[in-house]
Amino acid sequence: MKDNTKLLVVSSAAALAVGAGLWYYTPMLAWDRWLELFLLLILLIMFQYRGIGVSRYIKLSLSVSIYLMTIFVYGTGESMWFAVLSNIIFGILAGQEGIKIYLNILQRSLSSLLIGLVYTYLQHNAGQLVLPQSFPAMLSCAVLYTFINLLLVSIFTLLMDPNSLLGLRNAFKPGIWLNSLLFGYIGVIFAAFVTAWQLPGLLAFGMFLIGVSEIMRYSLRLVAEQQRRIQAEQELIVDSKTNVYNYRFLSEWLDQESSTPVTMLFIDIDDFKLFNDMYGHDYGDYVLWTVAQTIRSSVREKDYVVRFGGEEFVVILPHTSRGRGVAIAERIQAKLADLSDAGLKRNLTVSIGIASYPEDAEDRMELLRRADMAMYKAKSLGKNQCCTSG
């Protein structure tokens, strides 16, 4: 209820600002250019349909170019009315909820109002473009529009769903910023075309933008499909309990031929069965996750941490000597000892076997066997030990 109150207050303030802007600018609308404005409205709705969702909350489209061009060439009021009409029409046709249509109208029309005010300040007369003198003001407004628009999206989304903060982080990724800035720059070029050639310029550049939007939609779909495939492949080789690689990944790595020097650690949690028997399987899963993350934090980004199965882990250390491997193994044991002192229900120790290629093995499969044998040797010495192969 509290969040709904905040949304009501913020949206009401935005609605008052938008209403005041429409009241002030409506008498100045360029009715003598009604055909151009009508064509732009159709183009705007078309681009909204062709928008590509890059996350649950963010959608990219060339509509940004239309809003900015309208401010530069026709005026602030025209852009604000475009925001109202296009979002109502698109929202009804797309079956959007009333609250979403309302907030989309506020977001776009308020962005147009704020940028129109800034452009008027910089240009002294929005809607009367003078080339090339107007380019600095237009480019500045294109950058500012990107920031304001993404900021308003974030504010309204957070007020509607406070749990959306993590998803909204995508709005501030460099790729989205660059695309939004590119669309703003296209709006600047579009404005120059319409100023120079009026209706013919609008028609020619409008057709060009339709082609661009189709290419953009196709390209972004390919990227989205590629990302889905990568995610699906990652899910196949990542252990769900520990968030490190699983045996399938290790099996594929073992099948690859390579002459790259590598050191392998074979790690077994000492007396892991006692954690399950004494504290339950949920706590046992927590211990597995804790060990996996401790190992992960002890090695380099390019190293591989694998859950071999049960309570056993394998660490692959490319371009690492045996001596360096021993140092890493001892670091892992020291970190686990610190965790035990910090409040685990019982001491958590591991036995680690270390083997290196090509010193200890002729191929990767033999390297795994050597590291496994070294781990059992460490177990026989009293656990919580490190042993090298040979």
The number of domains in the chain is 2
pLDDT greater at residue 283 or residue 264: 264
Lowest mean per-residue pLDDT among 116-130, 284-298, 351-365? 116-130
Q: Are residues 35 and 125 in the same domain?
A: yes
Residue 177 has a pLDDT of 77
pLDDT tens digits along 164-212: 555 556 556 676 778 788 889 999 999 999 998 999 999 999 999 998 8
Q: Are residues 253 and 336 in the same domain?
A: yes
Q: What is the mean pLDDT of residues 105-127?
A: 87
Rounded CA-CA distance 138/129 in Å is 9
CA neighbor of 264 nearest in space, from 254, 255, 272, 274: 254
Q: pTM for this structure?
A: 0.60
- Cβ contact 372:254 at 8 Å: no
| Cα separations in angstroms, 11 against 4, 29, 156, 203 | 10, 25, 8, 36
For the purposes of burial, counting CB atoms within 10 Å of the CB of 181, is it exposed (0-12), middle (13-18) or buried (19 or more)? middle
Given pLDDT bands bounded at 50, 70 and 90, which one contains residue 342?
low
**Does 362 map to a domain?**
yes
Rounded CA-CA distance 317/261 in Å is 9
Rounded CA-CA distance 100/103 in Å is 5
Q: Please report the DSSP string for 15-46 in residue order.
A: HHHHHHHHHHHGGG--GGGHHHHHHHHHHHHH
pLDDT tens digits along 39-64: 999 999 999 887 766 566 567 788 99
pLDDT for residue 2 is more than 50? no
Residue 281 has a pLDDT of 85
pLDDT greater at residue 1 or residue 254: 254
pLDDT tens digits along 235-251: 677 888 888 898 888 98
pLDDT for residue 341 is more than 90? no
Residue 222 has a pLDDT of 74
Residue 168 has a pLDDT of 58
Print the domain residue range for 262.
Answer: 247-388
**Does 241 map to a domain?**
no
pLDDT for residue 1 is more than 50? no
Q: Are residues 315 and 203 in the same domain?
A: no
Q: Are residues 189 and 313 in the same domain?
A: no
pLDDT for residue 225 is more than 80? no
Strands 312-318, 52-53: pairing kind: unpaired
Residue 23 has a pLDDT of 97
pLDDT tens digits along 305-334: 999 988 999 999 999 999 999 999 999 999
Q: Are residues 228 and 266 in the same domain?
A: no
264: left (phi over 0), alpha (psi -120 to 50) or beta: beta
Q: Are residues 270 and 363 in the same domain?
A: yes
| Cα separations in angstroms, 25 against 18, 64, 197 | 10, 20, 25
Residue 228 sits at the vertex; the CA angle it makes with 294 and 172, to the nearest 5 degrees, is 75
Q: What is the mean pLDDT of residues 80-107?
A: 93
Distance, CA of 207 to chain centre? 32
Distance, CA of 242 to chain centre? 23
Final residue before a domain boundary, out of 208, 236, 264 = 236
Q: Are residues 204 and 268 in the same domain?
A: no
Final residue before a domain boundary, out of 206, 236, 266 = 236
Q: Are residues 181 and 256 in the same domain?
A: no
